[in-house]
Amino acid sequence: MVKIETDISRGTWLDDGAGRQRFEDYAKAYLRDNPEVGLRWEETCLRNLRLHMVDLHDVPLVAMTPVVVRAWHKKVMAGKGGRTSIAQSYRFLSTVMNCAVRERAVASNPCQIRGAGADRAKERAIATPAVIEQLVAAITPRYRAAVLMAAWCELRRGELCGLLTDYVDLDSATAWVLKNRVEMLESDVAFDKDPKTAAGRRPIAIPPHILPYVAAHRKKWAGTERFFVSRDGSPMRGNAISQAFNRAKKKVGFTGTFHDLRHTGQTLAAASGATLADLKNRAGHASDQAASRYLHMVAGRDREIAIRLSEIARSGDAAKLPPGIVMH
C-alpha cells in the first residue's frame, strides 16, 4: 500500500489489472464506449482488427512494446494488405495505446515508427474539361449531373447522395451542402450525418456552363426530397454512382476514380485564380493542409505564367498582371 501511494504521488502508478487485458478486448471496448467514434470508423477499425491485427489480439497491453509493434508492422507491410488500411490499423493501434496510457494501464505508447500511420495519397488523375465532357456523354443520363457537380462543384460522393432538392437553387445557381450520406461497408445500413467540420456546411456556386444539366436533372430525375435518387425513388447509393462511372470511364480511357473528379475540380479552380482560402471554402476543407492536397500544376500553366511575366517586363508595372496566377 505504501508503494502504491508513493507511485501515485510520483505519477508512476500503473493499474496492473488493466495492463493485463488482451489488446483485442481493450480495443473493442474503446470503440464501444467512446462517444466520439462514428459508426463508419468503428466498422473500419473492427474490419482492420480482423484482417490486419490478428497477431496483436492476445498481446497484453503491458507486453505491447515497441519491438512487438515493429515486428507486427514489418510483417503486415510484407503481406498483401492495402497500404491505406495498414496505415489506418497503425493509427488505430496508436490511438488505443494512447488511451491505455491515459488510463494508467501502460506507462508509454509503444507506437514509435515514424510515418507508419501516414496515408500517403498517390498522385491522382486529373480529368481535363474535354475528358469530363466525354465522361458525361458516356455515362447513363441519370448520373450526368453527379459527374458534373463532382468535377465542377467539388462535391464528395456522400455530399451528392445527401444533397436535398430544396437546397439546389437554380435561380441563384447555388447548391447548399448540409448533410453527408454515410454508407456502411459491410451492411446495407445508410444514414445522413452532419459534415465532419463546420466548413463542410457550405453553399456552392454552380458554374453557369453546367447549370442546364443540373436543371434537366431536377426536372427529370430528382426526387421530392433528395436531388439524387434511385429509379425506385429511394436515396441513391454511392456505389450506384461509382459503378456507372466505372463503366463510363472504361469507354473514354480515363484511369481515375469518381473521387478524382473532386480533385479535378480543385485543380481547375486553382488554375482559374482561386486562392487557398477560396479552395477551402469551396471544397469544405477546415485546414490548409487538406486543401493543399488538391493543388497541382495544370498542364500548360507554367507556360502561361512565363508569358505573363513577359507582360510585366514589357509594361514595367506588376499591377497590370492579369489576375489568376496561383503560385505553389
Q: Please pick, among 259, 293, 301, 308, the residue that the annotation labels catalytic.
A: 259
Please answer whether residues 235 and 161 qualify as being in contact, where contact means their C-beta atoms are separated by less than 8 angstroms.
Answer: yes
Shortest CA distance to 116 belongs to which of 95, 143, 140? Answer: 95
Q: Please pick, among 156, 226, 282, 296, the residue that the annotation labels catalytic.
A: 156
Region at 25 (left for phi over 0; alpha for psi -120 to 50; beta for the rest) = alpha
Specify whether 156 is catalytic.
Answer: yes
Q: Please pick, among 143, 263, 294, 296, the residue that the annotation labels catalytic.
A: 294
Residues with Cβ < 8 Å from 19, sequence gap 6 or more?
60, 61, 62, 100, 105, 106
Residue 181 is inside which H or E element, if any? Answer: strand 180-183
DSSP structural state of residue 3:
H
Specify whether 285 is catalytic.
Answer: yes
Specify whether 181 is catalytic.
Answer: no
Backbone angles phi, psi at 203, to 5 degrees: -90, 145
Q: Please pick, among 262, 263, 282, 296, the residue that the annotation labels catalytic.
A: 262
CB half-sphere exposure, 13, CA atoms < 13 A: 14
Q: Please pick, among 124, 181, 263, 285, the residue that the annotation labels catalytic.
A: 285
DSSP structural state of residue 147:
H
Residues with catalytic function: 156, 259, 262, 285, 294
